[in-house]
Chain A
Amino acid sequence: MSKAPVAVVGIGQTKHVAARHDVSIAGLLREAALRALADAELTFADIDAVVIGKAPDFFEGVMMPELYLADALGAVGKPMLRVHTAGSVGGSTALVASNLVAARVHRTVLTVAFEKQSESNAMWGLSLPIPFQQPLLAGAGGFFAPHVRAYMRRTGAPDHIGSLVAFKDRRNALKNPYAHLHEKDITLEKVRAAPMLWDPIRYSETCPSSDGAVAMVLTDTEGAARTPRPPAWLHGGAMRSEPTMFAGKDYVSPQAGKDCAADVYRQAGITDPRREIDAVEMYVPFSWYEPMWLENLGFAAEGEGWKLTEAGVTELDGDLPVNPSGGVLSTNPIGASGMIRFAEAALQVRGQAGEHQVEGARRALGHAYGGGAQFFSMWLVGADRPTT
């Protein structure tokens, strides 16, 4: 028996900010969940199962928080799953939820991802000393900066490419009312004048630390037929993982990312992603990851990704808009960031992205990665119901 088609019929997110002191952790998730249900014109009673995801429990200091969150998410008496696959978790969570529908185990599933980073300090949460292992005490930027350098050296990309990405994403964020950073007076000069954090990554080229949650309602064909607004249909989804470090690992363009994209494109019948995909929400926590992922995901040949960025192809009005929402560079509740990418891709093909809508978007890619550039999850959603 083939997989059941899966539709995204409800999307909700919180206004992402540095600290939501006005709500509890449960209140934050519930806000996103209720907005997703309202979008689908459903209630908790219509939900068969709940799948939640977040990054490490240390970020809020609650062990296995799904137990405490069961009531707030209307999960009592229902199955509840909790996914954790590092930074890719938001995407993985959506895929685990979609599989419940695809496998015909459930009809309608609520999936929620969150992080309330203000409850603790993620930098320290990521900087625990590990016996017999190299200390990565400088947070994620310290880990990824050398790989950006490797990319620049390998491709000959000029120094200013990163600032172009940051300038674009922060301007896109001004069109997204849910984005955390709204830098109304941003200029390219300001981006370039920001202090250097982890050479070559400037302060202006890193993601913020956010409190936020995102939720989606996924359902089958029958559920999609009843929905008030156009659904986004799942055309392909995949996860791939590879080890953190090993001889021969390519940190610049990890094989797991290539394999994951290839699997998604195969499922969706995509042979030329650059032409066939209308919008991309990719996980870019540091500006330079845009050109790096453009190559890893097959939108550009190796060594050519930065040229797309430089030519303005990835601008909101470009030929291949990347992160029209403002991306992770503008909003980063870590555990939710991957699912926000997936949700924003779905908003685009539903025509519901508001001011940051890509005109006529029919197919969009949501992308997330995590760990030491080793965990990947992606989905491709379309305005049309898949034919196979």
Chain B
Amino acid sequence: MRDVAIVAFAQSRHARSTAEVSEVELLMPVLHEAFDQVELKASDIGFTCSGSSDYLAGRAFSFTMALDGVGAWPPISESHVEMDGAWALYEAWVKILTGEADTALVYSYGKSSPGDVREVLTRQLDPYYVAPLWPDPVALAALQARALIDAGHTSEPELAGVAARSRASARDNPYAQLTSVRDGGEYVVQPLRRQDCPPVGDGAAAIVLAAGDTARRLCARPAWIRGLDHRIEAHSLGVRDLTDSPSTRLAAERAGLFDAPVDTAELHAPFTSQEVVLRRALRLGDEVDVNPSGGPLAANPIMAAGLIRLGEAAARIHRGDSDRAVAHATSGPCLQQNLVAVLEGDVK
């Protein structure tokens, strides 16, 4: 299998609302920053893949406008997933593994601000039996949190600790949207308080992948993808054990996570309670630095937040702050679908 690495990562300064810019305008500076890091142009890239959602954009084929911004001329080899950008990265990684490309641009973006994202996300539930009830993601996460507390896996004070730690970490992250825990912390849906929930916001991210010697040429310390896997669970919450994440564990096994210890974990856990689930599934001890960026509790631009986890973990390897890291992305209600990447830097 070819060695493939993340060699560049850029993201927007995530904000509650970016009404003054379009999706394309939100994305373009991020793309340029990623290109600048490796001194490449769009025409140097072997394959391009993006992730976004028409339901956030409120129009069909919304990704075509972003493609116009990328500058797909002369024509490019390109694809798009209606998923978080982490899965776009997966498709691009596979493309490089086939040998058809040596480099790839991956980007994703999402603007939650134009609509009510809690209502929008109810539209991804079973359209016959669940969506008509409009249960929103906070309510569903609250069911999961209640199950965790009832099973003795966590407590409300422990969740408050996750929230405080994440927001404190975010103070060193200039791209974070939320860096403090608001006082009061009233319940949004019991047992989840405001501090347990991610901020709603807009954002974009871009990553450049490269294979072998190309990666070494473009980046002083590439973040090598040692394993990458994703798994999905049943959709119906009633048939799942919400206190566990077997799909995360299986993806981690396939990605080789358990072969050696990691020093860093970037987890796509939008709710504090979901970090508890993921820590157990990924067997992360207290010695692992979890979400040093602040994680999705500090900035959660839907469709990009998973890709950002891979980017944040890679950037720590680029900087020499990490030698072996795990990055995780999720999709669907209560962690239904999960992706795990194991990233490593060469020995310093």
Contact = CB atoms under 8 A, between A and B. Distances in A.
A255 B75 contact: yes
3 smallest beta-carbon distances between A and B, as pairs: A256-B75, A56-B60, A103-B97
A203 to B, nearest CB: 24
Interface on chain A toward B: helix, strand, loop, or mixed SS? loop
B11 interface: no
A240 B234 contact: no
Nearest to A249: B73
A147 interface: no
A351 B209 CA distance: 41
Given A243-B71, A244-B68, A372-B64, A70 B234 contact: yes
Interface in B125-182: 125-128, 131
A238 interface: yes
Given A70-B234, A126-B61, 10 more contacts: A3-B100, A25-B127, A63-B55, A80-B337, A99-B91, A99-B98, A102-B98, A105-B94, A241-B77, A242-B75
B17 interface: no
B258 to A, nearest CB: 18
Interface in B69-104: 71-83, 87, 90-91, 94-95, 97-100
Given A63-B124, A100-B94, A238 B235 contact: no
Contacts of B98: 3, 99, 102-103
A56 B229 CA distance: 26
Interface band, chain A: 35 or more
A209 to B, nearest CB: 15
A63 B120 contact: yes
Contacts of B80: 83-85
B79 A92 contact: yes
Contacts of A1: 1-2, 99
B67 A79 contact: no
B63 interface: yes
A138 to B, nearest CB: 15
B127 A82 contact: no
Interface band, chain B: 35 or more
A299 interface: no
A105 B92 CA distance: 13
A77 B65 CA distance: 34
A243 B127 contact: no
Interface of B: 1-2, 48, 53-55, 58-61, 63-65, 67-68, 71-83, 87, 90-91, 94-95, 97-100, 120-121, 123-128, 131, 229-236, 246-247, 250, 331-333, 336-337
Count chain A CB atoms within 10 A of each CB in B48, B333, B337 and give the residue with the most: B337
B94 A240 contact: no
B64 A246 contact: no
B61 A241 contact: no
A384 interface: no
B235 A371 contact: no
Contacts of B128: 24
Contact of B64 (A76, A96, A102, A374): A374
A66 B82 CA distance: 9
A70 B124 CA distance: 12
A58 interface: yes
27 contacts: A24-B128, A61-B127, A62-B124, A62-B127, A63-B120, A64-B331, A67-B125, A67-B331, A70-B233, A76-B234, A77-B233, A79-B229, A80-B337, A81-B81, A82-B83, A84-B81, A84-B82, A85-B79, A103-B95, A240-B77, A240-B78, A243-B68, A243-B72, A244-B67, A256-B75, A371-B64, A374-B64
